[in-house]
């Protein structure tokens, strides 16, 4: 697999703590949002998605929050584990577009 | 990832030469995409396909062309490679438009010298 040495904002947390990764988007027409995780040497992997008619969605250890008023998306990871260390991307689109637009990413480092 | 493979995994080529990257899927998904990933830019869409012989440009399509002659294969061609096209290229597939996200391949690291 491949990855790049991205110059990214970094969030460093202790193992077991909760992590919050934030994403701002600019297109007020965006109505579908996804969080991806990219581990070193691999392609991005789907984590969770949310549509604009919702403001919160939960998965296994993850929660996505959507605030359409301020065009802000967040990913919360509960009880962060070393395996959560990766780069996290938000992506968004709307019904007028055929493809996702990705944010620039945040690197999560989990300290043992 | 299972169901999508990219080839080659690594390639070094000289400026001015043509290069073709291949994406192959076994999921029978309608939509296929090519993105490039560069430091500071995240993932940027090059081209996408919404069916056999149906393709369209993304935000960074200059210098690239694509072809999709059958459902399972989506080819990305750099007609005359330049150093600015040194990047990691990812192919992705999706079953539907804006449904369930994309499945990405493992990427191709292309270096143009």
- Each residue's pLDDT tens digit, B25-73: 999 999 999 999 998 778 999 999 999 999 999 999 999 999 999 999 9
pLDDT attached to residue A76: 98
3-state secondary structure of A98: coil
Return the structure tokens found at B87: 């990047």
Q: How many residues are there in chain B?
A: 113
The whole-angstrom distance between A49's CA and the closest CA on chain B is 7
pLDDT attached to residue A94: 84
pLDDT attached to residue A1: 43
Mutate to test the interface with B, among A100, A101, A105, A107 (most CBs of B within 10 A): A100
Q: What is the average pLDDT across A94-111?
A: 88
Q: Exposed e or buried b for every residue in A13-41, given b needs 16+ CB within 10 A?
A: beeeeebebebebeeeebbbbbbbbbeee
pLDDT attached to residue B96: 79
Asked whether the predicted pLDDT for residue B111 surpasses 90, the reply is yes
Mean of per-residue pLDDT scores for chain A: 90
Return the structure tokens found at A82: 């070393």
Tell me which residue in B1, B98, B100 faces A93 most closely, judged by beta carbons.
B98
Query: pLDDT: is A77 or A9 the higher one?
Result: A77
Mutate to test the interface with A, among B44, B101, B106, B110 (most CBs of A within 10 A): B101
pLDDT attached to residue A104: 87
The whole-angstrom distance between A111's CA and the closest CA on chain B is 24
pLDDT digits (tens, 9 = 90+) for A41-95: 899 999 999 999 999 999 999 999 999 999 999 999 999 999 999 999 999 988 7
């Amino acid at each position: 697999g491949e990855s790049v040495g991205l110059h990214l904002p970094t969030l460093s947390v202790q193992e077991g703590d909760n992590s919050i990764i934030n994403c701002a988007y600019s297109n007020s027409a965006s109505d579908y949002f996804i969080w991806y995780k990219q581990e070193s040497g691999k392609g991005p992997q789907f984590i969770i998605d949310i549509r604009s008619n919702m403001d919160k969605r939960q998965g296994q250890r993850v929660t996505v929050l959507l605030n359409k008023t301020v065009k802000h998306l967040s990913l919360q990871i509960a009880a962060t584990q070393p395996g959560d260390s990766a780069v996290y991307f938000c992506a968004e689109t709307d019904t007028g577009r055929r493809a996702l637009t990705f944010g620039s990413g945040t690197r999560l480092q989990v300290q043992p | 990832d299972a169901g999508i493979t990219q080839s080659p995994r690594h390639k070094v080529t000289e400026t001015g030469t043509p290069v073709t990257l291949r994406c192959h899927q076994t999921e029978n998904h309608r939509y296929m995409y090519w993105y490039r990933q560069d430091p500071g830019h995240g993932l940027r869409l090059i081209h996408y396909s919404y069916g056999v012989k149906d393709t369209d440009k993304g935000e960074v399509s200059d210098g690239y062309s694509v072809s999709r002659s059958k459902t399972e294969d989506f080819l990305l061609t750099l007609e005359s490679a330049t150093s600015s096209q040194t990047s990691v290229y990812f192919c992705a597939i999706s079953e539907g438009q804006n449904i369930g996200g994309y499945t990405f391949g493992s990427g191709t690291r292309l270096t143009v010298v």
